[in-house]
């Protein structure tokens, strides 16, 4: 009994010391924020898990209450001032990613998951040619093939007279595109009736596990080493993830055993750049991590941006008619094919794509970075060892940067000062040395899919409104409303 009392006493003393130090003497003690957030990480966990990805919404309230810099953890600050973004993520700062979050993705050996900038740079340089502007143009035919098939399938489904699940259709397109472009394989999800391939929901159902894995990291080991049959039964969310994981595993085994199997691809893949001609080849584990990273990054983000674009374009007759007129003038003969570089010259289409990307956001969770040396961020002194972050919504939805930010307004990208706006405050791919590796691919996809869809078809949205685009924050925006449906008819001329 005395030992138990001593243990309890020591624990209470340590807890009291932690509270006093964190509140009074910690280097961040002068920064405002909720006291409980500074004392325990479970403050944030409550909003991430119990409040269904509600941290971003709560973070907005915290900034209204405490100002532009909020202490959201014992050693963590979040900034709302737009200029802080470049100070945190720009090329002038080489802050490490915070492993406490990124380990939850279980992609530690990928270009995305490596927390050290030097290690990530080496991998990104290896894959860079595949995702460069020149690389994308060289293999644009792969993307165009999927775009043509998407248009064909939408018209086919539209001929039934029933509303089409466009939410799934656009994600099927981006899924098939990234699988073909990066891995020379495909699930042919565009061929499924109503685009209901069972793999597509995997993207936006498995990502909701991110907060559970962040706060309970031992579950990652359980997922990998526990009995698969039992886990599949207990967690339907993981069923599709396991199927995808096994598909990648089989494909990597095939490639590692016989590189000549890539000869039939007709274009480069990630395997060409990571394996062929390399003295030190990456492990299967590393290849798996990269495959899962590219699958996740290339599927939901582009699919979500296309969904956002079609919704706002088709519900605003002025935007729709102006865009169609521009496309028809540039593309009078639909039997000919316009390339992405031709579509890039269309100013209104370009403005529409930028505005769609702004409102789709991309990654919405503030991406944490660890300050290596004492730094100044947006004029605020930040000591070494501090975790800092800023979410893109605090820039994209800032009325001081974007007038009437909740309104879809392509014209803002054609006004005086638009170049400076894009260079400084347009962040769908983040910025700096860790910005999205596939941004050139995403631009090409957006030009081709929107150009072809809006020139060759007439789309009418069914039973969908802005409330269906309200999202919860699970790294990516996860929508809890109705999936967007619509009617699609071919355009005759």
**Annotated binding site, which residues?**
436
- Tell which residue, 487, 253, 164, 210, has the closest CA to residue 367: 210
- Tell which residue, 228, 250, 130, has the closest CA to residue 181: 130
The 3 state secondary structure assigned to 171-235 is HHHHHHHHHHHHHCCCCCHHHCHHHCCCCHHHHHHHHHHHHHHHHCCHHHHHHHHCCHHHHHHHC
Whole-number Å distance between alpha carbons of 489 and 19: 64
- Tell which residue, 230, 158, 289, has the closest CA to residue 166: 158
Tokens, residue 219: 């579950």
Torsion of CA 296, 301, 307, 310, to 10 degrees: -140
Residue in the structure block whose two tokens are 């094919």? 337
Which residues fall in the annotated binding site for heme? 436
Whole-number Å distance between alpha carbons of 111 and 114: 6
SS3 content of the chain, % helix, strand, coil (to 5): 60, 10, 30
Residue in the structure block whose two tokens are 């972050």? 389
- Contact assessment for residue 27 and residue 386, using Cβ atoms and an 8 Å cutoff: yes
Residue in the structure block whose two tokens are 């990480």? 41
Which residues, other chains included, contact 6 with Cβ-Cβ below 8 Å and sequence gap of 6+? none
Whole-number Å distance between alpha carbons of 289 and 112: 9
Give the three-state DSSP class for 27.
Answer: coil
- Contact assessment for residue 182 and residue 269, using Cβ atoms and an 8 Å cutoff: yes
- Contact assessment for residue 217 and residue 192, using Cβ atoms and an 8 Å cutoff: no
């Amino acid at each position: 009994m005395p030992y138990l009392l001593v243990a309890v006493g020591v624990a209470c003393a340590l807890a009291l010391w932690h509270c006093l130090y964190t509140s009074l003497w910690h280097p961040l003690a002068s920064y405002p924020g909720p006291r409980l957030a500074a004392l325990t990480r479970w403050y944030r966990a409550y909003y991430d898990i119990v409040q269904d990805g509600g941290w971003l919404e709560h973070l907005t309230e915290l900034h209204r209450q405490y100002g532009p810099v909020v202490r959201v953890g014992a050693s963590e600050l979040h900034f709302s001032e737009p200029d802080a973004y470049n100070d945190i993520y720009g090329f002038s700062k080489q802050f490490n990613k915070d492993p406490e979050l990124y380990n939850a993705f279980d992609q530690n050996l990928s270009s995305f998951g490596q927390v050290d900038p030097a290690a990530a740079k080496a991998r990104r340089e290896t894959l860079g040619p595949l995702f460069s502007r020149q690389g994308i143009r060289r293999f644009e035919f792969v993307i165009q093939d999927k775009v043509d098939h998407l248009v064909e399938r939408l018209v086919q489904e539209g001929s039934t007279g029933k509303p089409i699940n466009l939410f799934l259709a656009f994600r099927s397109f981006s899924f098939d595109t990234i699988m073909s472009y990066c891995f020379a394989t495909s699930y042919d999800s565009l061929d499924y009736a109503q685009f209901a391939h069972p793999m597509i929901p995997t993207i936006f159902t498995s990502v909701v596990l991110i907060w559970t894995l962040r706060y309970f990291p031992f579950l990652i080991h359980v997922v990998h080493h526990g009995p698969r049959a039992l886990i599949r039964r207990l967690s339907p969310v993981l069923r599709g993830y396991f199927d995808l994981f096994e598909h990648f595993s089989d494909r990597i085994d095939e490639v590692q055993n016989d590189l000549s199997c890539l000869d039939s691809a007709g274009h480069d893949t990630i395997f060409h750049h990571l394996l062929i001609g390399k003295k030190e080849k990456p492990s299967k584990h590393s290849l798996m991590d990269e495959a899962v990273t590219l699958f996740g990054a290339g599927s939901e983000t582009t699919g979500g941006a296309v969904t956002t674009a079609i919704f706002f374009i088709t519900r605003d007759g002025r935007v729709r008619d102006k865009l169609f007129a521009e496309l028809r003038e540039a593309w009078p003969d639909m039997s000919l094919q316009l390339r992405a570089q031709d579509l890039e010259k269309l100013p209104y289409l370009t403005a529409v794509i930028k505005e769609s990307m702004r409102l789709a956001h991309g990654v919405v969770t503030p991406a944490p970075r660890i300050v290596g040396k004492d730094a100044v961020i947006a004029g605020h002194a930040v000591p070494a060892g501090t975790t800092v972050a800023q979410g893109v919504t605090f820039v994209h939805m800032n009325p001081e940067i974007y007038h009437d930010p909740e309104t879809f307004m392509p014209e803002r990208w054609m006004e005086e000062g638009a170049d400076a706006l894009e260079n400084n405050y347009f962040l769908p791919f983040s910025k700096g040395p860790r910005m999205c590796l596939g941004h050139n691919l995403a631009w090409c996809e957006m030009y081709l899919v929107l150009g072809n869809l809006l020139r060759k078809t007439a789309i009418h949205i069914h039973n969908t409104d802005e409330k269906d685009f309200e999202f919860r924050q699970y790294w990516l925006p996860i929508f809890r409303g109705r999936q967007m449906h619509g009617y699609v008819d071919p355009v005759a001329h």
